[in-house]
């Protein structure tokens, strides 16, 4: 059921066509060509009764409640499927229409339980509303006649119920699953009166292909599909628009509340990133915010081997500040630092880097984006002049060719993936470059034209071969290159990619992708009117992550696929605020807006604003901090919202480094793995408990609004202010809007951003300044931010991590839809049951070779560590490659990972680890099962 | 700082820039990268290694870059 606050305009908007003038109930109306009569009426404030239509779905014309009279036309056409015509005269109310509508409603109600007073949809039910609207006063059919009133309820989904006794078979749920989500899990089984909604093959929801996105629940006009939270708590009484705290899509939601209790999170139809859609995490998995594991009192201890002591905020902050000051006095100014998190708001990350630069007096600040998209920062800044996607999400609807490289969009960015799938079902062609057959390679109504199933670690060889074909076959957009790019750098690049070592034939030997397939994919990409590249961590988390980003930028520039809708280079960010945390100056070498700290002009503006002399030298990155901890030059760390002990590679090395530090301050929701090494624990606040902004993958800045008081008593930005003040650098803000005002004053790309504007426009995409006061959906339209686009040499350099007889398989990693990163949040929701363990995917050939059967417990050993996982034998992975997710700490996935990292940014090479696998003996397996593994 | 780790990281940077057709540009690129992205204690450790042990485990092009970096990083006066 949609929110009561939604203004449902009944059928989708039509845009771009000429205006059609008509008359409805005597009122003149003008709407774009193609608009339905019922939408034209709704836009004029005339409400025509309806049940099967809603503006997120194409009209269907089945309920017959929206019938109208049209002058000169026989009968009573459905206004939802009748398009407007010039001069049309429509009547929405008459005695005949009223009689017919009452007859329709009577039939619906004759097969509907009359339990409105105890129904969970009471007060927000379209069927109830329509019965009132048409003036239904009696039902002549007897309850003893054939009906569906005793149909049993399906409670199998963790978050919603399916009660077929309340179903009116309007098909909104089926169409939402098909058209909005693109999963096709629901169907209408049977015909006529016997029609029923069926998940999969008439089984329960939990056994169907349903991905629990909630689109069906959102579309249902009755209580047939209802959130369990609504059944338990009742209808909400107010709502607050906010932004999801999970992935980089940044969906807008209405937090629907009763007092300070969240009843449900309803996707916001006005949200410009999600257009009213959602996924299982954002829609349903918010219960972690009030989980009993939340730490809500500050704690300190003198040693990590001592028990925690609950203390006041004042004592905890004072203890932390004293320790940091003591460490700096003893070991030097550079002996402490801070880590910001991509889960935190822009305002929070801005304050952490400000505290490090102004109060600590160094640049030892880094963000967890270090371990995901730092190569994007380096690569796109180098090629284009700024570190961000070139497009907005809606751009995909203008793409003819979509190339996905190293991204599992349906699992990692499911709401954007639904939009992409819609475009693919409309006819756009798909190229997927991935070592694994991700879901989108072949799914209902979608099949990739090419799946370039390369070996992990060989991305750069592939991108160079694609470029080789484009140059060799004269497919370069010479006009674009001449006008927009540096000619000398292009000439050098052209010569480089033309060399024989970059040919598809030699790339085939490296990547395993047949040369002809590479050639065909290159032609398809280069010949498109609009071709777009989307990529994820399968590009960045490699020793050549930055090189690959540069290679992608080269390819887009060479084919002129930059600067207009439908094209571009689109990094898909993993966490909600990866883009924002990078924008805010969280890296140790740059200020907000990607300006190097060595730039004296920029530094002077910060010196003046902050009243300090900011250090001109770059600080330590996260992995450098661990190395410096082990050599004794780095002894204190403030970690806001990041679990470095679990998310960093080479876990044994990290653990030793953390143990070597004298003061670690963890600010988080839960006592995470890093807290085991901490001396101070400061209770953080969830996205529901604070004000701020997130910036999503498309550079869209959206408001995060507080809907409940922080359980620990303070919003995260307040804690940083208190700590900075205790360190001797007072920070005083009364609201995060003042922090954003400071960001805008100091950051040219944000100079037009304010909370007032965000409240007025809903969201804006940076750059947002005097040149673009309403923001910038597509960048680099007339010229690149850096001026001329920069082509760079991208030599393929194999990773040092090699397979051999001892470690013959390559382990690569990825995500699953229901879980989020290291699972701190999602494991504390019913999503945990949907993916209760990380499993090892292994090809049937390898499984046979190593004596592994599906479900066996398998020992996975690398050069750095070992763990055990249950096997999933599948041909999704290629022979020689095994795959797992990393959502459960007991999987110890990161203990396997090596020290290898991206050459430019030190982003860890999570995607390539040489391993050996062997079945754990049967006796040991039984022991493990008994022990709960 | 673990010098073995720093050597590996510096050689990785060198491997990228080594493909540049202009040698001087490649050397300057490595030095600039170290200057722009490495904390001073990391640079100092690498320069010390280069000075005291001849930078034996550094790729030749990286050795050149570290020499250039040492010139740039030399304290004024």
Confidence of residue A415 (pLDDT cuts 50, 70, 90): very high
Query: Phi and psi (nearest 5°) for A649?
Result: -75, 175
Is A409 found in the same domain as A321?
Answer: no
Partner residue opposite A596 with nearest CB, options B19, B36, B42:
B36
Tokens of A848: 């046979």
Nearest to A68 by CA among A108, A44, A110, A36: A36
In a domain, A287, yes or no: no
CA distance A774 to A764: 6
Query: Given the structure tokens 């009944």, which residue do they identify?
Result: A10
Partner residue opposite B37 with nearest CB, options A544, A618, A627:
A618
Strand locations in A543-614 (E):
568-571, 590-591, 595-596
Which pTM was predicted? Answer: 0.96
In a domain, A720, yes or no: yes
- Flag if A598 and B36 touch (Cβ within 8 Å): yes
pLDDT confidence of residue A337: 98
What pLDDT digit, counting tens, does each position of A755-772 carry? 999 999 999 999 999 999
- Flag if A793 and B15 touch (Cβ within 8 Å): no
CA distance A269 to A644: 36
- Flag if B39 and A334 touch (Cβ within 8 Å): yes
**For residue B49, what are the contacts with CB-CB under 8 A and spacing of at least 6?**
B3, B6, B7, B55, B58
Helices (H), A561-599: 578-583
Cross-strand partners of A666: A639, A681
Chain A 84-113, residues with CB within 8 Å of chain B CB atoms: none
Residue A176's Cα: distance from chain center in Å? Answer: 20
Chain B 31-70, residues with CB within 8 Å of chain A CB atoms: 33, 36-42
Is A582 found in the same domain as A564?
Answer: no
Is A813 found in the same domain as A859?
Answer: yes
CA distance B73 to B65: 12
In chain B, DSSP finds a helix count (H) and a strand count (E) of: 4, 0
CA dist A728 to A24, A321, A359, A733, Å? Answer: 69, 9, 7, 16
Q: Which residue of A has its CA nearest to B4?
A: A627
Provide, as residue numbers in chain B, all residues whose Cβ is less than 8 Å from the Cβ of A545. Answer: none
B67 exposure class (CB count in 10 Å sphere: 0-12, 13-18, 19+): middle
pLDDT confidence of residue A666: 98
Is A383 found in the same domain as A354?
Answer: no
What pLDDT digit, counting tens, does each position of A801-845 carry? 999 999 999 999 999 999 998 888 999 999 999 999 999 999 999
pLDDT confidence of residue A278: 97
CA distance A629 to A660: 6
Confidence of residue A914 (pLDDT cuts 50, 70, 90): very high
Provide, as residue numbers in chain B, all residues whose Cβ is less than 8 Å from the Cβ of A594. Answer: none
Q: Positive or negative CA dihedral for A740, A380, A576, A372?
A: negative
At residue A149, the 3 state secondary structure works out as coil
Domain boundary among A115, A133, A151: A133
Partner residue opposite B21 with nearest CB, options A492, A630, A899:
A492
**For residue A164, what are the contacts with CB-CB under 8 A and spacing of at least 6?**
A148, A151, A152, A153, A154, A196, A197, A224
Is A23 found in the same domain as A47?
Answer: yes
- Flag if A903 and B40 touch (Cβ within 8 Å): no
| CATH number of the domain within which A304 lies | 3.40.50.740
Q: Which helix (H) or strand (E) holds A884?
A: strand A881-885
Distance from CA of B5 to the nearest CA of A (A): 9
Provide, as residue numbers in chain B, all residues whose Cβ is less than 8 Å from the Cβ of A625. Answer: none
Is A623 found in the same domain as A521?
Answer: no
3-state class percentages of chain B: helix first, strand second, coil last, to nearest 5: 75, 0, 25
DSSP A787: B
Confidence of residue A933 (pLDDT cuts 50, 70, 90): very low
Is A92 found in the same domain as A28?
Answer: yes
- Flag if A906 and B20 touch (Cβ within 8 Å): no
In a domain, A788, yes or no: no
Distance from CA of B47 to the nearest CA of A (A): 16
pLDDT at A138 over 60: yes
- Flag if A618 and B12 touch (Cβ within 8 Å): no
Least confident of A146-160, A504-518, A758-772: A146-160
pLDDT confidence of residue A932: 47
Average pLDDT over residues A227-243: 97
Distance from CA of B3 to the nearest CA of A (A): 10
Average pLDDT over residues A430-445: 97
Q: Which residue of A has its CA nearest to B18?
A: A795
Q: Does B2 touch chain A (CB under 8 A)?
A: yes
How many Cα atoms sit within 13 Å of A344 on the Cβ side?
36
CA distance A469 to A503: 7
Q: Which of A498, A793, A909 should we substitute to test contact with B (largest number of B Cβ atoms within 10 Å)?
A: A793
| CATH number of the domain within which A861 lies | 2.40.40.20
pLDDT confidence of residue A895: 87
In a domain, A236, yes or no: no
Confidence of residue A647 (pLDDT cuts 50, 70, 90): confident
- Flag if B41 and A628 touch (Cβ within 8 Å): yes
What pLDDT digit, counting tens, does each position of A574-605 carry? 899 999 999 999 999 999 999 999 999 999 99
Question: Chain-wide mean pLDDT for chain A?
Answer: 95
CA dist A60 to A76, A169, A174, A482, Å? Answer: 16, 12, 11, 50
Is A553 found in the same domain as A454?
Answer: yes
Partner residue opposite A547 with nearest CB, options B16, B18, B42:
B16
Provide DSSP, A466-505. Answer: HHHHHHHTT-S-HHHHHHHB-HHHHHHHHHHHHSGGGSHH
pLDDT confidence of residue A504: 98
What pLDDT digit, counting tens, does each position of A683-731 carry? 999 999 999 999 999 999 999 999 999 999 999 999 999 999 999 999 9
| CATH number of the domain within which A543 lies | 3.40.228.10
- Flag if B39 and A618 touch (Cβ within 8 Å): yes
Is A106 found in the same domain as A51?
Answer: yes
DSSP A765: E
pLDDT at A5 over 90: no
Average pLDDT over residues B42-64: 95
Confidence of residue A923 (pLDDT cuts 50, 70, 90): low
What pLDDT digit, counting tens, does each position of A364-393 carry? 999 999 889 999 999 999 999 999 999 999
pLDDT confidence of residue A467: 98
Asked if the bond preceding A767 is cis, omega within 30° of 0, the reply is yes
* Interface A:B, Cβ pairs < 8 A: 67
Strands A429-433 and A450-452: parallel
pLDDT at A83 over 50: yes
CA distance A622 to A626: 7
Average pLDDT over residues A729-750: 98
Strand order in the sheet with A531-535: A450-452, A429-433, A401-405, A531-535, A568-571
Partner residue opposite A903 with nearest CB, options B5, B13, B41:
B13
Distance from CA of B54 to the nearest CA of A (A): 22
In a domain, A12, yes or no: no
How many Cα atoms sit within 13 Å of A747 on the Cβ side?
27
pLDDT at A353 over 60: yes
Tokens of A551: 């290679």
How many Cα atoms sit within 13 Å of A735 on the Cβ side?
8
pLDDT confidence of residue A927: 57
Is A595 found in the same domain as A566?
Answer: no
Partner residue opposite B2 with nearest CB, options A598, A631, A797:
A631
Question: C-alpha angle A40/A42/A47, rounded to 5°?
Answer: 130
pLDDT at A249 over 70: yes
Tokens of A76: 């009573």
Query: Phi and psi (nearest 5°) for A331?
Result: -110, -10
Cross-strand partners of A787: A784
- Flag if A628 and B1 touch (Cβ within 8 Å): yes
CA distance A907 to A375: 7
Domain boundary among A117, A133, A149: A133
- Flag if A903 and B36 touch (Cβ within 8 Å): no
For residue A669, what are the domain limits?
299-370+578-765
Query: Phi and psi (nearest 5°) for A359?
Result: -90, -45
Polymer length of chain B: 77
| Per-residue exposure over A232-263, b if at least 16 CB sit within 10 Å of its own CB, e if not | ebebbeebbbbbbbbbbbbbbbbbbbeeeebb
In a domain, A670, yes or no: yes
Domain total of chain A: 4
Nearest to A353 by CA among A362, A365, A344, A345: A365
Provide DSSP, A19-50. Answer: EEEEEETTEEEEEETT-BHHHHHHHTT-----
pLDDT confidence of residue B77: 43
pLDDT confidence of residue A925: 58
Residue A439's Cα: distance from chain center in Å? Answer: 17
CA dist A633 to A303, A327, A780, Å? Answer: 19, 10, 43
- Flag if B1 and A547 touch (Cβ within 8 Å): no
Domain boundary among A571, A598, A624: A571
DSSP A332: -
Strand locations in A268-370 (E):
299-300, 309-310, 336-340, 365-367
Q: In this structure, how many other beta carbons lie within 10 angstroms of the beta carbon of residue A755? A: 17
CA dist B40 to A360, A606, A680, A904, B36, Å? Answer: 16, 21, 29, 17, 10
CA distance A663 to A652: 19
In a domain, A239, yes or no: no
Is A621 found in the same domain as A583?
Answer: yes
Average pLDDT over residues A648-670: 94
Q: In this structure, how many other beta carbons lie within 10 angstroms of the beta carbon of residue A804? A: 9
Provide, as residue numbers in chain B, all residues whose Cβ is less than 8 Å from the Cβ of A334. Answer: 39, 41
pLDDT at B74 over 80: no
CA distance A680 to A314: 12
Is A543 found in the same domain as A404?
Answer: yes
Interface confidence, given as ipTM, is: 0.96
In a domain, A415, yes or no: yes
Round to the nearest angstrom and report the end-to-end CA distance of chain A.
40
Tokens of A603: 């530094």
Nearest to A793 by CA among A559, A494, A468, A510: A494
- Flag if B2 and A630 touch (Cβ within 8 Å): yes
Give the rounded percent of residues in chain A with a pLDDT score beyond 90: 92
pLDDT confidence of residue B75: 60
Question: Are A44 and A61 in contact, with CB atoms under 8 Å apart?
Answer: no
């Amino acid at each position: 059921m949609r929110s009561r606050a939604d203004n449902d305009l009944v059928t989708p908007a039509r845009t771009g066509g000429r205006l059609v003038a008509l008359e409805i109930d005597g009122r003149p109306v003008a709407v774009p060509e193609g608009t339905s009569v019922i939408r034209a009426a709704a836009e004029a404030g005339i409400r025509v009764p309806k049940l099967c239509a809603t503006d997120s779905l194409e009209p269907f014309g089945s309920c017959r409640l929206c019938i109208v009279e049209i002058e000169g036309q026989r009968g009573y056409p459905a206004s939802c499927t009748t398009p407007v015509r010039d001069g049309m005269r429509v009547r929405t109310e008459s005695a005949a229409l009223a009689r017919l509508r009452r007859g329709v409603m009577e039939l619906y109600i004759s097969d509907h339980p009359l339990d409105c007073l105890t129904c969970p949809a009471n007060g927000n039910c379209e069927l109830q509303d329509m019965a009132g609207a048409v003036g239904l006063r009696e039902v002549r059919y007897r309850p003893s006649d054939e009906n569906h009133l005793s149909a049993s309820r399906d409670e199998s989904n963790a978050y919603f119920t399916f009660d077929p006794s309340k179903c009116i078979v309007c098909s909104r749920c089926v169409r939402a699953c098909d058209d909005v989500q693109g999963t096709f899990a629901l169907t209408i089984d049977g015909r006529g009166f016997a029609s029923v909604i069926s998940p999969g093959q008439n089984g329960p929801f939990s056994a169907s292909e349903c991905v629990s996105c909630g689109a069906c629940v959102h579309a249902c006009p009755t209580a047939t599909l209802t959130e369990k939270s609504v059944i338990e708590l009742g209808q909400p009484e107010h709502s607050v628009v906010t932004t999801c705290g999970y992935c980089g899509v940044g969906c807008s939601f209405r937090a629907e509340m009763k007092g300070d209790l969240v009843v449900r999170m309803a996707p916001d139809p006005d949200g410009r990133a999600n257009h009213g859609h959602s996924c299982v995490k954002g829609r349903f998995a918010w219960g972690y915010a009030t989980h009993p594991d939340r730490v809500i009192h500050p704690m300190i201890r003198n040693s990590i081997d001592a028990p925690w002591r609950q203390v006041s905020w004042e004592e905890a902050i004072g203890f932390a500040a004293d320790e940091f000051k003591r460490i700096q006095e003893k070991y030097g100014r550079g002996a402490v630092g801070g880590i910001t998190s991509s889960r935190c708001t822009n305002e929070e990350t801005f304050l952490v880097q400000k505290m490090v630069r102004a109060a600590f007096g160094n640049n030892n600040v880094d963000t967890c984006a270090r371990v995901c998209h730092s190569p994007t920062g380096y690569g796109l800044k180098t090629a284009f002049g700024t570190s961000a996607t070139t497009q907005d999400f809606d751009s995909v609807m203008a793409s003819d060719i979509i190339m996905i490289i190293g991204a599992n969009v349906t699992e990692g960015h499911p709401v954007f993936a639904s939009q992409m799938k819609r475009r693919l079902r409309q006819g756009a062609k798909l190229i997927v470059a991935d070592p694994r057959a991700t879901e989108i390679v072949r799914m209902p109504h979608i099949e990739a034209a090419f799946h370039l199933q390369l070996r992990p670690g060989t991305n750069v060889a592939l991108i160079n071969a694609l470029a080789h074909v484009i140059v060799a076959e004269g497919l370069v957009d010479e006009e674009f290159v001449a006008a927009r790019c540096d000619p000398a750098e292009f000439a050098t690049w052209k010569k480089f990619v033309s060399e024989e070592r970059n040919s598809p034939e030699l790339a085939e030997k490296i990547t395993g992708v047949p040369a002809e397939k590479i050639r065909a994919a290159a032609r398809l990409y280069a010949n498109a009117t609009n071709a777009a590249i989307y990529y994820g961590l399968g590009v960045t988390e490699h020793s050549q992550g930055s090189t690959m980003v540069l290679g992608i930028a080269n390819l887009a520039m060479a084919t002129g696929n930059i600067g207009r809708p439908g094209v571009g280079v689109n990094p898909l960010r993993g966490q909600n605020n990866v883009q924002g945390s990078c924008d805010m100056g969280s890296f140790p070498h740059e200020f907000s807006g990607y300006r190097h700290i060595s730039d004296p002009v920029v530094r002077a503006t910060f010196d003046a604003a902050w009243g300090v002399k900011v250090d001109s030298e770059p600080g330590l990155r996260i992995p450098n901090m661990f190395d410096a901890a082990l050599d004794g030059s780095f002894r204190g760390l403030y970690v806001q919202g990041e679990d470095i002990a679990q998310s960093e590679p080479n876990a044994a090395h990290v653990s030793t480094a953390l143990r070597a530090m004298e003061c670690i301050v963890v600010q988080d929701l839960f006592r995470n793995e890093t807290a085991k090494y901490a001396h101070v624990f400061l209770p953080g606040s969830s996205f529901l408990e604070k004000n701020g902004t997130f910036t999503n993958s498309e550079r869209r800045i959206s408001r995060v609004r507080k809907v409940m008081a922080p359980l620990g008593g303070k919003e995260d930005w307040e804690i940083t202010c208190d700590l900075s003040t205790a360190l001797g650098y007072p920070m005083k803000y009364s609201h995060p809007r003042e922090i954003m005002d400071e960001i805008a004053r100091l950051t040219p790309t944000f100079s037009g951003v304010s909370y007032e504007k965000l409240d007025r426009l809903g969201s804006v995409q940076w750059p947002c300044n005097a040149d673009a006061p309403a923001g910038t959906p597509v960048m680099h339209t007339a010229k690149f931010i850096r001026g001329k686009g920069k082509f760079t040499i991208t030599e393929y350099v194999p990773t040092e991590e090699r397979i051999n007889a001892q470690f013959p398989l390559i382990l690569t990693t990825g995500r699953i839809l229901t879980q989020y990163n290291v699972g701190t949040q999602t494991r504390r929701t019913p999503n945990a049951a949907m993916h209760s363990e990380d499993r090892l995917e292994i090809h049937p050939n390898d499984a046979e070779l190593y004596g592994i059967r599906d479900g066996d417990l398998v020992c996975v050993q690398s050069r750095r560590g070992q763990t055990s996982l249950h096997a999933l034998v599948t041909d999704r992975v290629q022979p020689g490659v095994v795959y797992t997710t990393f959502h459960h700490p007991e999987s110890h996935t990161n203990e396997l990972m090596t020290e290898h990292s991206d050459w430019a940014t030190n982003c860890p090479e999570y995607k390539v680890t040489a391993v050996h696998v062997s079945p754990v003996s049967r006796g040991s397996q039984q022991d493990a099962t008994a022990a709960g593994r | 700082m673990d010098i073995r780790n720093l050597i590996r990281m510096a050689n990785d940077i060198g491997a990228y820039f080594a493909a540049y057709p202009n040698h001087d540009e490649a050397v300057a690129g490595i030095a600039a990268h170290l200057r722009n992205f490495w904390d001073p204690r990391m640079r100092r450790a690498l320069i010390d290694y280069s000075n005291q042990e001849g930078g034996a485990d550094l790729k030749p092009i990286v050795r050149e870059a570290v020499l250039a970096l040492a010139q740039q990083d030399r304290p004024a006066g």
